[in-house]
Structure 1
């Protein structure tokens, strides 16, 4: 009998309590919804659940500039009017607002990804999950695209302490620009991003011609896609490219960013993937049996984000979930049908 993968799962209930603002598409509440689905399907009984440590400022400064980390630590909604020039310099504002408990929020989601990487490094699990992570746009000295601290870069830096090569895969509808930029000049990290490109779509980077530079030349791969790509086209491309990448690059660890804004009917996305199609990518990467760190990312139709990440938790646990959603604290969000598979999700 094949040995089951050992799964570590990181979650802190406080991460879902922060509020970006009334008209902001990012709703961290989706993380509570995801977690309650995981609990209601009894998936927590098949893995080790951890509350992550809150990342220390010195840990965040492994990638980010110390002055930027210090500013995030200091700024509050009540004092932001005193820091107009710093807000501009660090790109805080409409997309990346200052809200209550902002720094603690960053510490929790970054701490989850760091803890996940460390458990993989110490071989105490085979797969580590942090759905709160995956904030791939944040840069060394500035916030970007709803992302303040780039937990993925921090997690990859941690994995590089034990692995010669790390593969980063991104299936968010937006280009994983912050991660690509951080490792653009090294061959120790290969970044592969599948994303919408063109029509002034955020962040505007990720051209097929962007391939890395210096030692990193040919170690950045961009797969720019058009609106409306469906399951069969996406998964065919994904499997062909990732199979070849793994075969030639031979990574010691893989980081998979599972942004759910690539699902059909996302508030900001424009792809036509079903939850099954999205999860097929996760299933494919799991089969390589390489230490795997899985994070969330974008996703702005929150009930579908929760469905997707619950299904993908099941995939990582080799557990098929019944379609009828069991009763849980957030059940009313999943009406009127209360099912996991959204009828006609990818018929736009």
Structure 2
């Protein structure tokens, strides 16, 4: 019999040292800030801490095209001007810039999600956390929305080796389009995304009418929301929808993308959720009989809020209440 609620936590300090550029909203340093808070509140003493392996190109190519992976491996800031055609083809540019150690950054965050899935598959933990992961926009052959490698798809593919049905839940303010697209034609993964929709908001997908196709028809659920949704409304929607999804679909594992850009005051977001409202999403863990759960980060562009949010959510997973001073 496994010990109850054994939690694995993946972190590599190198992932927070990369720099997207001076005016870019994505600041990987938020991961170091989160980790320092986790240590400050002694949460690490209640988890197993692992440094993830750097995912091999062949692992990344389980989902992404080999030529795209090879290009990410090869491209450098000082050589990018020689690859203008490829940059356009693979959608690297203003949103997805080329920066120092880009490929290593991808290897680390993807490696963490893959390692987390493998530990879950081997029943070495009940919950696996990789706050560096959750880059849900990346497509098979191109970067998108600050995302280069879709670690979530790679993690789900790993889980599918041992699990008949995987439920993917996305609470980022942006639609989880890359994950939905990857599993749009299968019933083995159900994707549920709660996101802002309308007014040309990125990525422009996620209409309630997008429900999957062929074997995947009715296995994609989109919950398009308007600006300013608050804790009460979000909580009601989330609990109603997710409890029914789990009752009907009966997954044996859940992947939860916890993008923190749905918090009030986010640089790119437009919702009015507090940290209290955000971690209601983790209500699904203690109150339901789902055996395995993987938790990742995602968006979040006001660094201090992101770090507080993910630390509080780590505490929720550990059934540890943190001081009120942590809250927004």
Counterpart CA distance in 1 for 2:244 and 2:47 is 30
Counterpart CA distance in 2 for 1:57 and 1:221 is 31
In structure 2, the CA distance between the partners of 1:3 and 1:51, relative to structure 1 (3 Å rule), is: closer
The residue matched to 1:169 in structure 2 has which SS?
strand
| Unmatched tracts of structure 1, length 5 or more | 324-338, 343-348
Poorly superposed stretches of 4+, deviation over 2 Å: 283-287
- Equivalences for residues 5-84 of structure 1 within 5 A: 5-84=5-84
The residue matched to 1:292 in structure 2 has which SS?
strand
Instruction: State how many pairs are aligned.
Output: 326
Counterpart CA distance in 2 for 1:119 and 1:286 is 20
Corresponding residue for 2:318? 317
Counterpart CA distance in 2 for 1:223 and 1:86 is 35
Corresponding residue for 2:89? 89
Counterpart CA distance in 1 for 2:237 and 2:84 is 45
Corresponding residue for 1:219? 219
Counterpart CA distance in 2 for 1:307 and 1:235 is 20
| Unmatched tracts of structure 2, length 5 or more | none
- Report the CA distance between 1:289 and its aligned residue: 3.6
- Report the CA distance between 1:322 and its aligned residue: 1.7
Q: TM-score, normalised by structure 2?
A: 0.98
- Report the CA distance between 1:161 and its aligned residue: 0.2
- Report the CA distance between 1:4 and its aligned residue: 3.4
Corresponding residue for 1:329? none
In structure 2, the CA distance between the partners of 1:286 and 1:259, relative to structure 1 (3 Å rule), is: farther
Q: Deviations over 1:52-111 (max 9, x none)?
A: 000000000000000000000000000000000000000000000000000000000000
Counterpart CA distance in 2 for 1:53 and 1:300 is 26
Q: Deviations over 1:134-161 (max 9, x none)?
A: 0000000000000000000000000000
Instruction: Answer yes or no: is 1:306 the counterpart of 2:307.
Output: yes
The residue matched to 1:229 in structure 2 has which SS?
coil
Instruction: Answer yes or no: is 1:172 the counterpart of 2:172.
Output: yes
Instruction: Answer yes or no: is 1:106 the counterpart of 2:92.
Output: no
- Report the CA distance between 1:287 and its aligned residue: 2.5
Counterpart CA distance in 1 for 2:95 and 2:282 is 29
The residue matched to 2:193 in structure 1 has which SS?
strand
- Report the CA distance between 1:255 and its aligned residue: 0.1
- Equivalences for residues 316-335 of structure 1 within 5 A: 316-323=317-324
Corresponding residue for 2:141? 141
Corresponding residue for 1:297? 298
The residue matched to 2:285 in structure 1 has which SS?
helix
Equivalent residues of 1:173, 1:271 under 8 A apart: yes
- Report the CA distance between 1:286 and its aligned residue: 4.0
Counterpart CA distance in 1 for 2:287 and 2:73 is 40
The residue matched to 1:36 in structure 2 has which SS?
helix
The residue matched to 2:255 in structure 1 has which SS?
strand
Counterpart CA distance in 2 for 1:14 and 1:190 is 33
- Equivalences for residues 224-263 of structure 1 within 5 A: 224-263=224-263
Corresponding residue for 2:327? 341
Q: TM-score, normalised by structure 1?
A: 0.93
Q: CA RMSD in A?
A: 1.0
Counterpart CA distance in 2 for 1:238 and 1:208 is 15
The residue matched to 2:168 in structure 1 has which SS?
strand
Equivalent residues of 1:283, 1:316 under 8 A apart: no
- Report the CA distance between 1:285 and its aligned residue: 3.5
